[in-house]
Structure 1
């Protein structure tokens, strides 16, 4: 059984307000956000391969990055689909072609560059034991349910709430089957892989992840990412 990361980065980054590049290719200290993300999986001893799902017009550029930064575990760079769900579907099918449907797949956002080794390891172990693993963080704010008029209908107990993040990990044959069911239902759309798998009857298991494992979506997210990276560099230099 192999462990393969499917990293999808097919968005155009409209909320980032970047005029030249999609957000996944914006650079910090000369390195694109996407490369920071890939390197965590490249360095992890239990990751056997990586499939990148990219905007078709950026595939050549991404291949150049793979060579430049020596991302040797990247086995394929493929085009995404019209939606995020379609892009993931393309990626997991390619992963199954390369590594077999009994493999564990770690589905991750290309713009979550602060994932860490411990979380990846915990996800793999949980998926091997339970068939899946959903990375989560505890809710640190009050979570409420509202109606269409903006009125609060319910407030949930915070200690029982968590925020689903990534990686989201599954056995390849299980997540592929779920995508095929969604396609048979007229390409029924889900907000993420976890919601799809739950809809089709799978019990899901959580793995606590680091709070800083944020998704870089807006300029403020980028500044947080930069601050964390710089703080980590300073701690190494000054021994903090």
Structure 2
């Protein structure tokens, strides 16, 4: 069983949108979140989708699910006070629906609408082999480490540097147990990969498409629009 847990609980303050959170901003009449969900909707290996949404937008999200016929969405749950808590809410709903054994979860950002079918497939294959899969892209610029005074103390070898993206995929039983340890120990992590590494799991990567960006700022939205328009144009003009 392969279940996507799509996290769309942010308020989008950096987007500076005055009317809607960034995940609901529209391109050609379709919200960013819908573009994202559709990739999982179309993928034959995905059995279901659980959405984690701002509580005040759940009703609107339900309308989108019906309008765009997102039949694989099995539940919409409210987000928590932190990203970690929101993901746990989603994982708990997956456990309620399917149990926690023999379930793979794909943690994905609702504002990463440029995920592609091959990346999802590669991630699922990696989970079968290694138990987890962290989507990354190669670093295309030099990465430097500095001290507290801004002095460069190390320049990383670019060939060994990767940018973590999404989805991050795990066996549900292992991920939700780690979340419960973190709750008990009152520990906060920046993402699921950091949590799993802290609790001793070896992590494995799959390389995804570089355009699989997170729509956070207005410039990100313009890039997203340009890519979508270019793809649609290529279908017409070849």
Q: Distance in 2 between matches of 1:48 and 1:163?
A: 28
Residue 80 of structure 2: aligned partner? 81
Give the conservation status (yes or no) of the 8 Å contact 1:55–1:79.
yes
The yes-or-no answer on 1:181 pairing with 2:181 is yes
Give the TM-score normalised by structure 2. 0.99
Superposed counterparts of 1:207-226, under 5 Å:
207-226=206-225
Tell me by how many angstroms 1:99 deviates.
Answer: 1.9
The yes-or-no answer on 1:168 pairing with 2:168 is yes
Residue 198 of structure 1: aligned partner? 197
**Residues paired across the two proteins, number:** 237
Dislocated runs of 4+, deviation >6 Å:
none
Residue 93 of structure 1: aligned partner? 92
The yes-or-no answer on 1:142 pairing with 2:138 is no
Q: Which SS does the other structure have where 1:222 is aligned?
A: helix
Q: Distance in 1 between matches of 2:182 and 2:151?
A: 32
- Gapped regions of structure 1 (runs ≥ 5): none
Give the conservation status (yes or no) of the 8 Å contact 1:54–1:79.
yes
Superposed counterparts of 1:149-160, under 5 Å:
149-160=149-160
Q: Which SS does the other structure have where 1:221 is aligned?
A: helix
The yes-or-no answer on 1:35 pairing with 2:34 is yes
Give the conservation status (yes or no) of the 8 Å contact 1:132–1:205.
yes
Q: Distance in 2 between matches of 1:13 and 1:65?
A: 19
Give the conservation status (yes or no) of the 8 Å contact 1:104–1:128.
no
Residue 24 of structure 1: aligned partner? 23
